[in-house]
Amino acid sequence: MPLDDQTPGQKPGEARQFKVVGTRPLRPDGIDKVTGRARFGADMSAPGMLIGRVLRSPHAHARIRSIDASKAEALEGVKAVVTRADFGAGDDDVADILDNCMAGEKALYDGHAVAAVAATSAAIARKALKLIDVDYETLPHVVDVDAAMKPDAPVLHEGLSDETVPDGVSQNVVHRVEFGHGDVEAGFAKADKVLERSFKTAATHQGYIEPHACLATMGTDGIADLWVCTQGHYMVRNTCAAILGIDQGKLRVTASEIGGGFGGKTTVFLEPVALALSRKANRPVKMTMTREEVLRATGPTSSTSIDVKIGMNKDGKITAASADLRYQGGAYQGSPADMGSMTAFAPYDLENVKTVGWDVVTNRPKAAAYRAPGAPMAAFAVESVVDELAKGFGLDPLDVRLKNAAREGTKSSYGPTFPAIGLEATLQAAKDHPHWKAPLGPNQGRGVACGFWFNFGGDTCVSLNITPDGTVTLSEGNPDIGGSRASMSMMAAEELGIPYDQVRTVIADTGALGQNEVTDGSRVTFAVGLATIKAARNAKKVLCERAAMVWGIDPEAVEWADGCARPAGDNAGKFPPMSLKEIAAIASNTGGPVAGHFEVNAEGAGVSFATHMVDTEVDPETGAVKVVRYTVFQDAGKAVHPAYVEGQFQGGAVQGIGWALNEEYIYGEDGRLQNPGFLDYRIPVASDLPMIDTVILEIPNPGHPYGVRGVGETSIVPPLAAIANSVSEAAGVRMTDLPMSPPKVLAAIQNG
């Protein structure tokens, strides 16, 4: 009985016909979210709850000589004050995370937490913060990546550089990586033209609208509960347990609804602090960040400085390509320079390619993941040079990309050989689209660019339980950011052959399932979907066994189709089909409740490619840029819920527009962040944008039963480059410095 990879009646090689997957049902969390009753991080309260607040360093770099909290502790209503002294040494692998949550010997950036209080009201907590005396010895600071690499730069951490770092650079350089194959120098020698350009990108923030928030309750026995907005509550459990020195099993973490993450909620900030305050006060403690705290102290991405060199023949063939990518990751190691280096040339089939990445620390908040971490900046630099070379030869930029496109069998620039991939399909769709041929108005330009993201799998647990009335509850362990509960219910319904509304998916707390990787790496629809399908198949196996028991035939002679157990053929005997509801109703008498489980470290995520096309208009007198038309072409493998796939494409494109045009971290001479608010950290608003058109390509991922690939991250990789190529054409001058804010564009136009 072919339960595993095919549906009954499906011939090998034939595309599967879906009934639920590919439709657009309403989301199960929808009514809660349009009526205001969905509970996000800050929406939970507890009896006897205290309010926690954090004191943050006003200095970019300072030694903390001492902290005197006695006056704060004496204030009426203050129930606990914690500093680094209240945390143990912690495990080595969380040392940086702990130090980022609560500074130790030094404050390493403007906004670094140095103390926290819990009080009976927010007003008292705020007042208490002002009563804490911190004696700082200010130190020289550095925030620019190139400056931080210089041998005489102020050093954040002595002795952090590893053996990959050559002599002659600052100790702020933590790690150097190299990828590639072939002989780039020989390749450049063969090129008709070699173009080398340098690029800069500013740090940007994920910009989720919901600030970090949590509610912690912890007793002196180490038993604790935490309600938190996070992309991964299992990660929160494990990290907090390690920091606080308690058993993972004693800390139960429940994920709230999450108001956006984009990678920025894949680590902890407030959570260990709230637990420590709760333990000390022996009362529940709620903590929320202000927007200013979010921008000063949580997850921006790296600012970068990148050199790209590409050799091309006049027919458009790339002979060799190299890049040097310098990423500052804030005050601790771990910038995504490695992923930038791996993704930079991934869209191309290259004989000779080399990338070198540098992980550099600076006096800025520790970089957190941001949607395809490291890739958009690398793509900006590479795709700009490809574009300039193509246009220099008078070639169609899409043709040049098609000519060099990675395809099945290409040895990628970062090592592996690609299986079936969708890059050519996106390029061809772009070439065939009316947008490509539409006329441009005055001062307008059109840009295209490609982007790549790996996509991840990882640890995943799913439990699918069938209720006595035959409806289905699916428990999974990944916070739902963009509609994954709907997608999981759809895949379970598809597999079981029942209507979508018969399945309810819930995000289980950490007490209910085994380990689950964070909602990141565009993994959820792929990995949790895969586990859901396999769990449903395990449940179907039990359902078939129960029917076989009733019919008195061999379980192997029963198959599952259209929501019913059926005899597999005439030889199996003639019995009317038994529906899921019928089997569920007698489950207690046939062996007990029916469930399906699946636990896996999912592999085979399937890489993803996109091509973006954008028209911009530049005001030559002011440098203002208006996005007038935008189309996304991306491979989704199989779009489970096409509306949510479109939403991911659109959201990524618009975050990319913000990054390209106006978003940036602006530091003053004093190393303090000058724009920690949505007023001057300028994310796109509705009136800035046109509709974002989408074209979904479906090149099935062989690693998923339905062909699904992750779609969430790839969509932010091409826009920086696509917009830069478009603006460069419209302005008549090559833009190499992001964001392309009006003063920069105007200066470029005026300087020719």
Partner 1 sequence: MSQIHVTTKINGDTTEYLCDPEETLLDVLRDRLALTGAKEGCGTGDCGACSVTVDGRLVCSCLTLGAEADGCEIDTIEGMADGEKLHPLQQKFLEHAALQCGICTPGILVAAKSLLEKNPSPTEEEARYWLAGNLCRCTGYDKIIRAVMDAAEEMRRAS
Partner 2 sequence: MIYEVPETVDSAVALLSGATGSARILAGGTDLLVQMKSGVVEPDLVVDIKRIDGMKSIAQEDGGWRIGAAVSGAEMGEHQALCAAWPGVVEAMELIGSTQVQGRATLAGNLCNASPAADSVPAMVAAGAVVRVAGPDGVRDIPVEEIPVKPGKTSLGKGEFVTSVFLPARPVNSGDAYLRFIPRTEMDIAVVGCGVSLTLDEAGTCTAARVGLGAVAATVLVVEDAAAALIGSKADDTALDKMAAAVSAACKPIDDKRGTVAFRTHVAGVLAKRAAKIALARAQG
Residue 89 sits in the site that holds partner 1 (CB under 8 A) = no
| Residue labelled with tokens 């925030």 | 143
Report the partner that residue 437 touches, choosing among partner 1, partner 2, none (CB closer than 5 to 8 A by kind).
Answer: none
Q: Which is nearer to partner 1, 188 or 262 (by Cβ)?
A: 262
Site map for partner 1, 430-469, x if CB under 8 A? ----------------------------------------
Per CB under 8 A, the segment of 308-316, 376-384, 393-401, 652-660 that binds partner 1 is: 652-660
3-class DSSP state of 615: strand
Per CB under 8 A, the segment of 42-50, 233-241, 555-563, 739-747 that binds partner 1 is: 42-50
Which residue in 448, 462, 594, 654 binds partner 1 (CB under 8 A)?
Answer: 654
Site map for partner 1, 238-277, x if CB under 8 A? -------------------xxxxxx---------------
Question: By the 8 A CB rule, do 172 and 333 touch?
Answer: no
**Residue 263, CA distances (Å) to 177, 207, 369, 374 in order:** 23, 10, 4, 12
Euclidean distance between CA atoms 185 and 321, whole angstroms: 9
Minimum distance from CB of 686 to partner 1 (Å)?
4
Euclidean distance between CA atoms 171 and 153, whole angstroms: 9
Query: Does the N-terminal peptide bond of residue 739 adopt cis geometry, omega within 30 degrees of 0?
Result: yes
Distance of CA 259 to the CA centre of its chain: 14
**Residue 365, CA distances (Å) to 96, 297, 619, 658 in order:** 12, 5, 35, 20
Question: By the 8 A CB rule, do 737 and 748 touch?
Answer: no
Per CB under 8 A, the segment of 133-141, 287-295, 580-588, 743-751 that binds partner 1 is: 287-295
Q: Long-range contacts for 150-155 (Cβ within 8 Å, ≥24 apart)?
A: 154/61, 154/363
Give me the sign of the Cα torsion angle 56, 59, 62, 68: negative
Residues 108-127 that bind partner 1 (CB under 8 A): 123
Structure tokens at 640: 């489970």
Report the partner that residue 746 touches, choosing among partner 2, partner 1, none (CB closer than 5 to 8 A by kind).
Answer: partner 2
Residue 710 sits in the site that holds partner 1 (CB under 8 A) = no
Report the partner that residue 654 touches, choosing among partner 1, partner 2, none (CB closer than 5 to 8 A by kind).
Answer: partner 1
Residue 130 sits in the site that holds partner 1 (CB under 8 A) = no
Question: By the 8 A CB rule, do 521 and 710 touch?
Answer: yes
Report the partner that residue 210 touches, choosing among partner 1, partner 2, none (CB closer than 5 to 8 A by kind).
Answer: partner 1
Q: Which is nearer to partner 2, 302 or 662 (by Cβ)?
A: 662
Residue 290 sits in the site that holds partner 1 (CB under 8 A) = yes
Residues 483-522 that bind partner 1 (CB under 8 A): 483
Number of residues in contact with partner 1 under rule CB under 8 A: 59
Residue 40 sits in the site that holds partner 1 (CB under 8 A) = yes
Question: By the 8 A CB rule, do 645 and 639 touch?
Answer: yes
Euclidean distance between CA atoms 578 and 584, whole angstroms: 10
Which residue in 643, 733, 734, 737 binds partner 1 (CB under 8 A)?
Answer: 643
The footprint of partner 2 (CB under 8 A) covers 290, 292, 621-624, 661-662, 666, 674-675, 678-680, 682, 684-685, 687-688, 741-743, 746-747, 750
Minimum distance from CB of 264 to partner 2 (Å)?
22
Which amino acid is it at 292? E
Residues 669-708 that bind partner 1 (CB under 8 A): 677-679, 683-689, 691-692
Question: By the 8 A CB rule, do 54 and 664 touch?
Answer: no
Q: Which is nearer to partner 2, 367 or 673 (by Cβ)?
A: 673
Per residue, the 3-state secondary structure of 548-583, as one string, reads HHHHCCCHHHEEEECCEEEECCHHHCCCCCEEHHHH
Residues 382-421 that bind partner 1 (CB under 8 A): none
Minimum distance from CB of 723 to partner 2 (Å)?
14
Which residue in 52, 180, 187, 211 binds partner 1 (CB under 8 A)?
Answer: 211
Q: Which is nearer to partner 2, 202 or 405 (by Cβ)?
A: 202
User: What b/e string do you get for 329-341 counting C-beta neighbours within 10 Å, with b at 16 or more?
Assistant: bbbbbbbbbbbbb
Euclidean distance between CA atoms 122 and 126, whole angstroms: 6
Report the partner that residue 742 touches, choosing among partner 2, partner 1, none (CB closer than 5 to 8 A by kind).
Answer: partner 2
Which residue in 16, 84, 250, 291 binds partner 1 (CB under 8 A)?
Answer: 291
**Residue 475's beta-bridge partner residues?**
463, 506
Q: Which is nearer to partner 1, 161 or 655 (by Cβ)?
A: 655
User: What b/e string do you get for 43-68 counting C-beta neighbours within 10 Å, with b at 16 or more?
Assistant: bbebeebbbbbbbbbbbbbbebeebe
Residues lying near partner 1 in the complex (CB under 8 A) are found at 24, 26-27, 29-40, 42-43, 45, 123, 206-211, 257-262, 288, 290-291, 481-483, 641, 643-644, 646-647, 650-651, 653-655, 677-679, 683-689, 691-692
